[in-house]
Amino acid sequence: MKNNHTSLGPKADKETVRRHNLSLVLRAVRDEGEATRAGVAARVGLTRAAVSSLVEQLLDSGFLSESGKTFSGQAGRPGTVLKVTRSGPAGIGVEINIDYVSVCVVDLSGTDRVRLTEHLDNRGAAPAEVLARGARIAARTLDSAAEQDLAPVGVQLALPGLVSGGTVRQAPNLGWNRVPAEELFAQALAEAQPVVPPLPVRSENEANLAALAELWFGGLGGIRSFLYLSGEIGVGGALVLDGELLRGANGFAGEIGHVVVDADGPLCRCGSRGCLEQYAGQSALLRGAGLDENAGVPGAAELEALARAGDKRAIAAIGEAGRMLGRVLSGAVNLFDPDAVVLGGIYRSLMPWLSPPADGELTDRVVSGLWPHDSGRLRASSSAGDAARGAAALVVRAVLADPVAYADRTSA
Q: How far is the CB of 244 from a copy of itself (least distance, A)?
A: 5
Q: Look at residues 324, 367, 373, 370 and name the one whose alpha carbon lies nearest to residue 347.
A: 324
Cβ proximity to a copy of itself: between 80 and 250 the closer is 250
Binding residue count for a copy of itself, defined by CB under 8 A: 75
259 binds a copy of itself (CB under 8 A): yes
Site for a copy of itself in 301-330 (CB under 8 A): 327-328, 330
Out of 116, 270, 297, 407, the only residue in the binding site for a copy of itself (CB under 8 A) is: 270
260 binds a copy of itself (CB under 8 A): yes
Q: How far is the CB of 324 from a copy of itself (least distance, A)?
A: 9
| Binding piece for a copy of itself, criterion CB under 8 A, among 51-59, 103-111, 280-288, 357-365 | 357-365
In whole angstroms, give the CA distance from residue 27 to residue 35: 11
Q: What angle do CA 346, 349, 351 make, to 5 degrees?
A: 105
What is the SS3 assignment for 90?
strand
Asked if residues 203 and 163 have their Cβ atoms less than 8 Å apart, the reply is: yes
Whether the bond into 197 is cis, omega within 30 of 0: yes
Q: How far is the CB of 319 from a copy of itself (least distance, A)?
A: 15
Q: How far is the CB of 241 from a copy of itself (least distance, A)?
A: 7
8 binds a copy of itself (CB under 8 A): yes
24 binds a copy of itself (CB under 8 A): yes
CB proximity list for 292: less than 8 A, separation 6 or greater:
286, 299
Site for a copy of itself in 166-205 (CB under 8 A): 169-170, 172
Q: How far is the CB of 10 from a copy of itself (least distance, A)?
A: 5
Out of 19, 113, 136, 379, the only residue in the binding site for a copy of itself (CB under 8 A) is: 19
Site for a copy of itself in 32-71 (CB under 8 A): 44-46
| Binding piece for a copy of itself, criterion CB under 8 A, among 67-75, 96-104, 127-135, 364-372 | 364-372
Longest dimension (CA), the chain: 73
Asked if residues 89 and 108 have their Cβ atoms less than 8 Å apart, the reply is: yes
Site for a copy of itself in 101-140 (CB under 8 A): none
Hey, how many other C-beta atoms are within 10 angstroms of the C-beta on 58?
Answer: 23
In whole angstroms, give the CA distance from residue 41 to residue 36: 9
What is the SS3 assignment for 3?
coil
Out of 107, 112, 232, 255, the only residue in the binding site for a copy of itself (CB under 8 A) is: 255
401 binds a copy of itself (CB under 8 A): yes
Angle, in degrees to the nearest 10, between helices 312-336 and 347-365: 50
Radius of gyration of the CA atoms of the chain, in A: 23
In whole angstroms, give the CA distance from residue 23 to residue 226: 27
Q: How far is the CB of 332 from a copy of itself (least distance, A)?
A: 6
